[in-house]
Chain A
Amino acid sequence: MGLKIIVLAKQVPDTRNVGKDAMKADGTVNRAALAAIFNPEDLNALEQALRLKDKYSGTTVTLLTMGPGRAADVIREGLFRGANDGILLTDRAFAGSDTLATSYAISCAIRKISKFDLIIAGRQAIDGDTAQVGPQVAEKLGIPQVTYGEVIYSAEKGKISLKRRLERGVETVECPMPAVVTINSSAASCRPRNAKLVQKYKHAQTVTERQNQSEDYIDLTNDRPYLNIPEWSVNDIESDLRMLGLSGSPTKVKQIENVVFQAKESRHVQANDQEIEELVKELIANHTIG
């Protein structure tokens, strides 16, 4: 008897690769200059799931992602690395969700999947860095959580044993399943794509993606159902609409200030107290430090 594992993954703009062209002249973020990637810690989470799949025969790993249509890339990437299947949760109704509304939508999708032993997610996503969705999903599902995980030692006899990495040390904890576990970047890196799996899944698509394809590809899924990436809208999950999207989000963004780096040419700062002080004040004012 294997485990049923759900990995939560998010497609994020690659905020780590922010070069000088990431800011437009008017000081706004140039999203086009940022690649959309598989959130790095979600890859660490996927690896932990795949290791359990290697260890316990019959284990399945299902990816669940919420986002726009192009987030199907995350599912494909997961399939290339060894996940069994994936679900894209996508609907305009989810737009504007804060972490709480996101967690609610995800928990509703998980309830629809219904059978699972373990939910594994990255600790946090690099676009928001909040680390809130994992614990909030756990709370919505009424199951325990273990955050800051680094190594899952075992998942058997109804409980998991894992190592957590905290600020001042490490902890080994035991937790009954089902549970939500979040994984740090200090955990093992995800295995690379498997060439055979890339061949197998390269035409895996959602219905929406397939609509824009030629007939040949549409026929493909008839004899190869695994090439169909299920796409769930708000109509596919049981949810209270008021708890989704903007209306389900207690937090609102009041204001966004872009952090603009104006210094293009080198500026020479004299090594005296007065000029050093001016430099420090400037760096604090533009949020580089402080």
Chain B
Amino acid sequence: MDNIFVICEIEDGKVADVSLELLTKGRSLANQLSCKLEALALGHKLKGIEEQIFPYGADVVHVGDDKRLEPFTTLPFTSIIVDLFQKEKPQIALLGATTMGRDLGPRVSSALQSGLTADCTALEIGDHEDKKAKKIYKNLLYQIRPAFGGNIVATIINPDCRPQMATVREGVMKKEMFSKTHKGQLKTIDVGSILKPEDTVVKVIERHIEKNRINIKNSSIIISGGYGMGSKENFSVLYDLAEVLGGEVGASRAAVDAGFAEHDRQVGQTGVTVRPKLYIACGISGQIQHTAGMEESSMVIAINNDPGAPINKIADYVLTGEVMDIIPRLIKSYKKNTK
């Protein structure tokens, strides 16, 4: 009772990074709350899966192995988790904010009538005073997340309902092995006694990997390159920065015409209009045809070796210098200052 559960995601016999990140976070929360960290692994042919989980500090690993649990479908997973949580009564349950976690989390929370906060960017422990009810809650999970299109950051709590559930995106938390030799207890879930025929009515007919189309419009961070990037190869530093910041790569028309980037990435009058939270313009002079497509960005950083580039006039921050020199330093500094 009152432990922390991490619902692990397993792909081809491997525990997903996001789950290991949550286990790392869960371990530190468990230490803070003096409770146990428990993990749940559901799927098929999971023999030995606990060996991947224990080093991240799990005290208990529950394994449910059944062919009806692979590939993932919502209903059987929900039935097993609800059954387990009703018995174990965890205080906190964490899932990856993946397509699986964001499908499963709300269904489980609804069945348990418990609160769920999606896409948290930070999890902390803290107290809460309900002034109206004159009640003080100790050691609640603060679920911190951006909302309102990223314009506000909200701290959400679940004062009364348990478990306090949260999903977190991959890469938000740090993944850190607790101890290579750490061993916990393995518990087997009797899947057969829980699943009912109505749990398996949804059938996955086909699955395949399909490259997602580029869609920079929905990205809250865009790193764009212009003709000043010099070559297609040099664009790779922009992809590196986009990856660490969780953004997308855009391009000016001149860069697209020069073959540095695909047309889908073009920002401006003949491309797409974007309004991200952060727009980093690299080697872009700032012709009106380009700025028309990005001037409503909340924040603009211009990186250019020309101190007189027109883009500088609409930028909030101007870095004058070589893109190829500045970007790697930005990445290094970002990595140093996060996690």
On A, residues with C-beta under 8 Å from B are 13, 15-20, 22-23, 29, 98-100, 103, 126-136, 138-140, 144-148, 161, 164-176, 185-186, 249-259, 261, 263-264, 266-271, 273, 276-277, 279-281, 283-284, 287-290
Q: Is the CB of B103 within 8 A of A148?
A: yes
B221: chain A residues at CB < 8 Å are: 289
Given contacts A136-B106, A148-B103, contact A250 B160 (CB under 8 A): yes
Contact count A vs B, C-beta below 8 Å:
240
Q: Chain A contacts of B285 at CB under 8 A?
A: none
B158 within 8 A of A: yes
Please state if B313 and A256 are interface contacts (CB–CB under 8 Å): no
Q: Is the pair B202, A175 in contact by a Cβ cutoff of 8 Å?
A: yes
| Cβ contact within 8 Å between A144 and B153 | no
Task: Report B228 CB to chain A, min CB distance, Å.
Answer: 15
The answer to the question of B15 belonging to the interface, with a C-beta cut-off of 8 Å to chain A, is: no
- Give Cα A177 to B311, complex, Å: 54
| A273→B329 contact, CB < 8 A | yes
Question: Could you tell me if A259 and B109 are in contact, using CB atoms closer than 8 angstroms?
Answer: no
Chain B positions near chain A (C-beta within 8 angstroms)? 71, 73-75, 78, 98-99, 102-103, 105-107, 109-111, 113-119, 121, 128, 142-143, 146-161, 201-210, 212-213, 215, 218, 221, 245, 275, 277-278, 296, 298-299, 301, 312-313, 315-322, 325-326, 329-330, 333-334, 336-338
Q: How far is the CB of A74 from chain B (nearest CB, A)?
A: 19
B149 touches A126 (CB 8 A): yes
In the complex, the answer to whether A131 meets B333 with C-beta atoms within 8 Å is no
Given contacts A22-B151, A23-B151, A273-B329, contact A289 B245 (CB under 8 A): yes
Can you show 5 pairs from A to B with CB atoms below 8 A apart?
A100-B110, A254-B128, A266-B318, A284-B337, A289-B278
Q: Which 5 A-B pairs have the closest CB atoms?
A: A15-B149, A250-B115, A271-B321, A263-B316, A251-B115
Contact check, A13 vs B148: say whether CB atoms are below 8 A apart. Answer: yes
Least CB distance from A160 to B in Å reads: 10
Chain B's closest residue to A257 (CB) is: B153
